[in-house]
Structure 1
Amino acid sequence: MSAMIEALNIISWNIRGAVNAKGRRRSIELVQLHHPTIFVVMETHCLFSSAESFWTKLDYKLCNKVEARGHSGGIWILIAQHSQQVTSEVVVSPQALIDDCNLLDLGATGLRFTWYRNQLGFPLAKRLDRALCDTKWQTLFPNAFVENLCQVYSDHCPLLVRCGSLIETKKNRPFRFQAAWATHKGFEKIIKDAWKRSTPTLVNGLNTVWKEAIEFNRNVFGTIFSRKREIQARLKGAQFELEK
């Protein structure tokens, strides 16, 4: 049981439109980087049926929802397919909930604010998003903390609730072709040469291409997710400077 608790990550994000291509791309990055067991999507601005296939491909299923009305509102609580069932409830009156249940603000590391907007040429920033818990939950997850992630696409930062330690264990993941590889002028030749060197069976050919693609990503193209983390770290540094 403790191993499952240590592996639990939760992401909550006011996405400001869940069918937009940029929002979906950012959602994929968040899943790939942080492997959340629970992903809460707010301000979806659409019905879940219009995005269900997208989340199914990411290996998530719906746990609870409040559907959007037209192009406003909408909350989806999604859980990883491999996880046990989660009981959830969406409450409309947050202040009453905080008072009645004596909820505690978990605070946050990272960016000081969670909402940024430029209004009439003046930058605005506030801490609108936060994670709350009761004493029972805090006892169950004593090492839990919240990180305000980099603001990309939406004017709200995603919140990452880590219920275990900061260090995440690396897992052997299945090979996935990265579309960005094809933008490199030398990638096509590498694949053709790898296919020619393999013995004439489909399985051997694919295995050789797989090994060459991994080697190409490591030594020539550079690890994509490492580059993304570096860029996001620079963006977060810039946002830190703007908060001063």
Structure 2
Amino acid sequence: MVGDFNAVTGLEDVSNKENFQNHRCTDMRNWIFKEGLIDLGFFGARYPWTRGNDSTTLTRARLDRALCNMEWLEKHLGTKVTNLTHFCSDHSPFLIDLSITAKERKRQSFYFQEAWTRHPDFSKVVEQGWEINKTILDNILAM
């Protein structure tokens, strides 16, 4: 699912850190965790939502995001989400590319999602993909 959730998940999702209140993120973080959703991340602008015209009123945040479950991610492993330049709206449009090649995917950063551990095949996938005789870095680079 992709859209404006009108909520952030942490301090890194806002530009105005002075007015940040962590307790306002709890519901969004809990909902993502409870539903076993995975944030697909993004390329491009850090904050796809902007309000204000000058330094005294400017506020930016990551209210918009792309989330999926493990089953969807397995089918679309190479998904790339890009925040485009916004125009005619205070929200940036997303470009979602499902055609990323394996070579391009290897260049992307690896982020562990705790929700993966709840998938019934998690242990089996780790055992199949992890080589005991390799270092942690070598195993990650082999993914």
Shorter-chain TM-score bucket reads 0.3 to 0.5
If asked which structure has higher relative contact order (CA below 8 Å, sep 6+), I would say 2
In terms of Rg, which structure is larger? 1
Task: Compute the TM-score of the two structures, normalised by the length of structure 2.
Answer: 0.46
Task: Compute the TM-score of the two structures, normalised by the length of structure 1.
Answer: 0.28
